[in-house]
Amino acid sequence: MFNRFLKLIIKRNYKNGFTLLFAVIIIGVVLSVGLAIYTILMKEFKLSAFARESQTAFYAADSGYECMIYWDIKRQMVSSTTPKTISCANQNVTVGGATTSTISLNFENGTCALVTIYKDNPAYTKIESKGYNTCNPSSAYRLERAVRATY
């Protein structure tokens, strides 16, 4: 009888050790999968932040471009001979007087645009607008997007 009891204890101890080993392996696998998902999630957050800032820079470039198109086509205020003052983004800027004019626009949301208009004659005009998500040129996260039109 004592031998049967001893065999039960020995048999039981072997099963408990295996269960503990199995539990540690499962915990390790779950932890590894969780860490991999966390790493992917952090990369996705960075990518989405860059996409948002890229879109902001594009909108700044588009705003500068649209302002210059408005004053050149609708109001015919841009001339290569006579400088004129126009208003863009609540700022008064002078354009014209030369074949190339460059203006800098700072928007209320912290973005800015650098707009260059080249007007050689009334038949040829080239507008290039570069938009930036931040006006700080030394920022590590500064993005530039450009819009260009020739007509």
What total number of domains does the chain contain? 1
Q: Convert the pLDDT of each residue in 37-86 to its tens digit.
A: 999 999 999 999 999 999 999 999 999 999 999 988 887 877 777 888 88
Q: What 3 state SS string does the chain have?
A: CHHHHHHHHHHHHHHHHHHHHHHHHHHHHHHHHHHHHHHHHHHHHHHHHHHHHHHHHHHHHHHHHHHHHHHHHHCCCCCCCCCEEEEECCEEEEECCCCEEEEEEECCCCCEEEEEEEEEECCEEEEEEEEECCCCCCCCCCCEEEEEEEC
**Which domain range does residue 146 map to?**
2-150
User: What is the pTM assigned to this prediction?
Assistant: 0.74
Q: Please state the rounded mean pLDDT for residues 125-136.
A: 94
The pLDDT-based confidence of 13 (bands split at 50, 70, 90) is: low
Q: Convert the pLDDT of each residue in 24-40 to its tens digit.
A: 999 999 999 999 999 99
